[in-house]
Amino acid sequence: MCGIVGYVGGRGAQKILVDGLQRLEYRGYDSAGIVTLGGGATLLREKGKVVELEKLVSEHETPDKIGIGHTRWATHGEPSQQNAHPHQAGDIYLVHNGIIENYKELKQELPDHEFTSDTDSEVLAALIDSFYDNETSLESAVTQALQLVEGTYGIAVLSTREDDKIVVARSGSPLIIGVGQDETIIASDASALVGHTTNAIYLNDGEIAVCKAGSVELTDLASHPLSAKVEKIEADMSAIQKQGYDHFLLKEIMEQPITLQSTLNGRVIKAEARAQLGGLNMSAEELQEIEHVVIIGCGTAYYAGMLASYYLEQLVDGLTVDVEIASEMRYRSFHLPKDTVALVVSQSGETADTLACLREVKARGVKTLGVINAVGSTIAREVDGGVYVHAGPEISVASTKAFTSQVAAMTIFAIQLAQAKGAGAQELGKYIDELAAMPDEIQKVLEAHKDQIRDVATKYAHYEHALFLGRDTLFPVALEGALKLKEISYIHAEGYAGGELKHGPLALVDDRFFEVMLLQENALLDKSLSNLAEMNARGGHVIAITNSDRQIDAEAVIHIDTKQELLVPIVLNVVQQLFAYYVAVARGNDVDQPRNLAKSVTVE
């Protein structure tokens, strides 16, 4: 949430900052601002999207070579120019991600500063300024201020008095320092560094860095020098561009055959009927001992975990599996049985609740494995082992390709666990074959059904309510389908287990609702068809999404021809993604940046 970018070097800072903010815009888009220094400060802030800021910058161009910028997702104070970052206090300019929890108390101690915004961030700027006298360096003032702060922050700070450096610090909100040739670029997300440098320092909590054109000096909060580890970032420009698609969301749905293949590469070895993940840091003996798996995530990552839990139960005899919402679990007095392993699932690897939950689980001595997309992210760095799903940057706020890759990665984990516990190739072969075939199957479905899904979606786009129903492995898919629809179309949508229909939601069925019924050719199909009949009998408007060849009596039927059997829910979910996309397009919504939301939820 919120994006930070900073630049110091030999090139014009304004353009680099605005370009960077555009790439980070998916992290927050209610206002944006930059400040650059060059014999004085040029502070430019605007309400709305980065494109509005870009217009303002074009009217106030400067050749300045140092600056910081921010795109905001409001926490304290409405979206407005006054509340936009950077915030100024004396000679100090600051951009901030996170929440300063004790800002009200700190504000009372700063009577000399005239506050112009409602933000907690301006309080931090004023606090730094209160320590910044003529004898004090910027980094020293920042360090002293941070000792008093409670909450989370990723900050970048400039001073007109020391206009060759940017001071950055982090506690709980990510910051990456790109080390280029005689230039340094700061960003809250690696995508802003792509095209500038592939060398990066990932700041850890409690670290402060003084960034100049040709150097980065790292210390802890007690000013002890630290050595910086420079790592390679791997992403190319094409991964963060729309490449001819109207929206990132459509691109990310359509590229799933490729991104899923990256998840599977080297991990699903069909010829040997075997699957393995490289980075678990667990021996076969340790895997054998696992008796319980807890899967932790938020939103779509949680639903991916829920779907994978069915596969874990199916594949590993005797294993017990729980799936937990991170924001709930982290505050519970939970107990985990001996021989538990925790799978921590997150696309961004930065979700505040998931990270906090990971720390709670670790504190109980439980082994943690990450199922993460963003390479180098905080959760990926804090888990004991795990797997990168390699879906590539997900720019659209709604998560799509990450879900598919997360489920696939956890299914591989399930196979590996089953192998370690002695399951033979015969028992596992079908899962392995279906995983290996999945990219082609998804490709086939996207090609064959895109137009039909668009037509059905357009027809139902005027409804205001929707009910998604599925049984067994299709229950988490129903929940995910409802989430996807509500977040980008703003249609009120609920997901339910098919068997629950008569226990309440059937009362909702009327002309204001449409219902999405997920139907899989398996032992529960007849039961689901009964649910469908019950809705038809009450005037329901049912869209059936199915791989079954049976005659299905529904208002609309999207019939998918696929060889998948066990893993068909993953394919049906792709259909739902496209459905939600086209509904949102038909309603004229901002598909990639839905209102009120932002990617990477780094605050609670």
Amino acid in position 262: S
Give how far Cα 156 sits from Cα of 41, 124, 354, 454, 569, Å.
Answer: 15, 11, 25, 44, 44
Is 211 assigned a catalytic role?
A: no
* Dihedral sign, Cα of residue 8, residue 14, residue 17, residue 23: negative
Stretch that binds ligand F6R, among 20-28, 40-48, 294-302, 507-515 (CB under 6 A): 294-302
Among 22, 36, 259, 348, indicate the residue that binds ligand F6R (CB under 6 A).
Answer: 348
To the nearest whole angstrom, how small is the minimum distance from the Cβ of residue 131 to ligand F6R? 35
399 lines the binding site for ligand F6R (CB under 6 A)? yes
To the nearest whole angstrom, how small is the minimum distance from the Cβ of residue 487 to ligand F6R? 6
| Closer CB to ligand F6R, 405 or 411, in the complex | 405
Residue tagged 């492995």 (tokens): 473
| Closer CB to ligand F6R, 347 or 489, in the complex | 347
To the nearest whole angstrom, how small is the minimum distance from the Cβ of residue 351 to ligand F6R? 3
To the nearest whole angstrom, how small is the minimum distance from the Cβ of residue 593 to ligand F6R? 12
From 307, 276, 237, 222, select the one nearest 569 (Cα to Cα): 307
| Closer CB to ligand F6R, 152 or 546, in the complex | 152
To the nearest whole angstrom, how small is the minimum distance from the Cβ of residue 577 to ligand F6R? 10
44 lines the binding site for ligand F6R (CB under 6 A)? no
Task: Give the alpha-carbon dihedral of 500, 501, 505, 510, to 10 degrees.
Answer: 170
Selected catalytic residue, list 2, 211, 298, 357: 2
| Closer CB to ligand F6R, 124 or 192, in the complex | 192
Stretch that binds ligand F6R, among 169-177, 265-273, 346-354, 583-591 (CB under 6 A): 346-354
To the nearest whole angstrom, how small is the minimum distance from the Cβ of residue 406 to ligand F6R? 8
CB 468 within 8 A of CB 518: yes
562 lines the binding site for ligand F6R (CB under 6 A)? no
Pairing mode, if any, of strands 320-325 and 292-297? parallel
Is 502 assigned a catalytic role?
A: no
> CA–CA separation, 273 vs 32, rounded Å?
52
> CA–CA separation, 230 vs 424, rounded Å?
43
- Give the 3-state secondary structure of residue 273: coil
| Residue 453 φ/ψ, nearest 5 degrees | -65, -40
Stretch that binds ligand F6R, among 219-227, 299-307, 433-441, 503-511 (CB under 6 A): 299-307
* Dihedral sign, Cα of residue 479, residue 481, residue 484, residue 486: negative
Q: What share of the chain is helix, strand, coil (3-state, %, to 5)?
A: 40, 25, 35
> CA–CA separation, 59 vs 37, rounded Å?
17
> CA–CA separation, 172 vs 601, rounded Å?
11
Tell me the sheet residues that pair with 186: 6, 177
Distance of CA 276 to the CA centre of its chain: 25
| Closer CB to ligand F6R, 169 or 483, in the complex | 483
CB 351 within 8 A of CB 378: no
Among 307, 398, 554, 572, indicate the residue that binds ligand F6R (CB under 6 A).
Answer: 398
What's the token pair of residue 65? 């070579």
**How many alpha carbons lie under 13 Å from residue 135 in its C-beta half-sphere?**
0
> CA–CA separation, 276 vs 293, rounded Å?
17
Q: What count of other Cβ atoms lies within 10 Å of the Cβ of residue 197?
A: 17
Q: What count of other Cβ atoms lies within 10 Å of the Cβ of residue 284?
A: 10
376 lines the binding site for ligand F6R (CB under 6 A)? no
455 to 494: interface string for ligand F6R, x by CB under 6 A:
----------------------------x---x-------
| Closer CB to ligand F6R, 119 or 399, in the complex | 399
Stretch that binds ligand F6R, among 59-67, 161-169, 195-203, 341-349 (CB under 6 A): 341-349
> CA–CA separation, 86 vs 68, rounded Å?
8
97 lines the binding site for ligand F6R (CB under 6 A)? no
Among 261, 263, 300, 593, indicate the residue that binds ligand F6R (CB under 6 A).
Answer: 300
To the nearest whole angstrom, how small is the minimum distance from the Cβ of residue 335 to ligand F6R? 24
What's the token pair of residue 4? 């930070």
Stretch that binds ligand F6R, among 4-12, 257-265, 347-355, 423-431 (CB under 6 A): 347-355
Among 117, 119, 121, 347, indicate the residue that binds ligand F6R (CB under 6 A).
Answer: 347
CB nearest ligand F6R: which residue?
299
Among 351, 419, 520, 548, indicate the residue that binds ligand F6R (CB under 6 A).
Answer: 351
Pairing mode, if any, of strands 216-220 and 207-211? antiparallel
340 lines the binding site for ligand F6R (CB under 6 A)? no
301 lines the binding site for ligand F6R (CB under 6 A)? yes
To the nearest whole angstrom, how small is the minimum distance from the Cβ of residue 178 to ligand F6R? 22
DSSP classification of residue 223? -
404 lines the binding site for ligand F6R (CB under 6 A)? no
Selected catalytic residue, list 49, 165, 251, 599: 599
> CA–CA separation, 414 vs 335, rounded Å?
23
Stretch that binds ligand F6R, among 89-97, 210-218, 340-348, 576-584 (CB under 6 A): 340-348
The residues that are catalytic are 2, 599
Residues that bind ligand F6R (CB under 6 A): 298-301, 346-348, 351, 354, 398-399, 483, 487, 600-601
